[in-house]
Amino acid sequence: MTLTTDPTTLDELHTRASNIRRRIVDICANPQGGHLGGSLSLVEVLTALYFDVMRVDPALPADPDRDIFLLSKGHAAIGLYCTLAERGYFDAEELAHYAETGSRLMGHPTRDVPGVEMPTGSLGHGPALALGFALAAKLSGSPRKTYVALGDGEMQEGSVWEAAMGAVGLRLDNLVAVVDRNGLQLTGDTEEICPVEPVAARWRSFGWAVREVPGQDVARVREALASAPWEPGCPSVLVARTTKGAGVPFVAGKPNSHYVAFGERQHARALSALRRAAEQGRAPRRTDAAGGGADD
């Protein structure tokens, strides 16, 4: 079978992103909570990939020529699960059983979940795995592209840069990385813990083609990802300037958005904010956030 991309209108992308965000918030209202902030910041990237850019078919999850997505920042599993359910890989009702005993929807993704390509979450491993997928495609003559999303704090892992060097040496222009540049990691601001700036210049110095976009702007994210590779023979990295917790104003841009178990009132407040944004037909804006950049 020949996989094709499924062109999607911008309105539909906004609707999908809104649905995914609501599902993430619902999961975090379960007693065990979940990794809210880094899932919400990645919503527009996941939406653009799964609903427009990637050549995938939920009915044929093992098609050898499908595009590959790896969530290197595997702790954002609920963002991936909600996207896969929204895309039709499995029934969305299963999301209500996240992290329950016996559920395949665990805190980090495993291949028991339809659509998940590799178990991830040991930070720094995703780029090397992605390099392997991309190299295999080149060697076998497959048109597949490989996409990998990593956190900005994850750039502090040395193994990221081993893969970055290797991908350039192997001229893997079928490899696209996305850095979720939300400015925060588990315990605070990346620049206070171990600076990663200048993010774009670091990747460029390793030989990657680099673009930066406001990461909550699904149109800009889609345009960038759909047009990769940006330089022949070079792997591409999109620096998505996002807001951790985007869409939920009382946690957006705050370190405590990292892991959240909403109480009943907080859950209602969060859903209300998402509903207002959806009614206004807009993505999360900077005014929704206490901090975090969303500009180029």
The answer to whether residue 151 forms part of the interface with Mg ion (CB under 5 A) is yes
The answer to whether residue 26 forms part of the interface with Mg ion (CB under 5 A) is no
Residue with tokens 């925060």: 184
Least separation in angstroms between residue 230's CB and Mg ion is 24
Q: Which is nearer to Mg ion, 152 or 173 (CB)?
A: 152
The answer to whether residue 182 forms part of the interface with Mg ion (CB under 5 A) is yes
Number of residues in contact with Mg ion, rule: CB under 5 A? 5
Single out the segment in contact with Mg ion by CB under 5 A; choices: 80-88, 153-161, 223-231, 275-283: 153-161
Residue 162, token pair as written in the block: 């081993």
- What mask, x for binding Mg ion by CB under 5 A, covers residues 97 to 136? ----------------------------------------
Cβ–Cβ under 8 Å, residues 244 and 273? no
Least separation in angstroms between residue 256's CB and Mg ion is 13
Q: Which is nearer to Mg ion, 115 or 121 (CB)?
A: 121
Candidate residues 26, 44, 52, 152; the one interacting with Mg ion per rule CB under 5 A? 152
Residue with tokens 């591409």: 236
Q: Which is nearer to Mg ion, 124 or 153 (CB)?
A: 153
CA distance 146 to 3: 15
Q: Which is nearer to Mg ion, 47 or 182 (CB)?
A: 182
Cα four-point dihedral sign 273, 217, 260, 97: positive
- What mask, x for binding Mg ion by CB under 5 A, covers residues 55 to 74? --------------------
Q: Which is nearer to Mg ion, 46 or 95 (CB)?
A: 46
Question: Using H for helix, E for strand and C for coil, what is the string for 103-143?
Answer: CCCCCCCCCCCCCCCCCCCCCCCHHHHHHHHHHHHHHHCCC
Residue 154, number of CB atoms within 10 A of its CB: 23
CA distance 45 to 27: 20
Least separation in angstroms between residue 234's CB and Mg ion is 25
Residue 31, number of CB atoms within 10 A of its CB: 6
Q: Is the peptide bond before 249 cis (omega within 30 degrees of 0)?
A: no
Q: Interface residues with Mg ion (CB under 5 A)?
A: 151-153, 182, 184
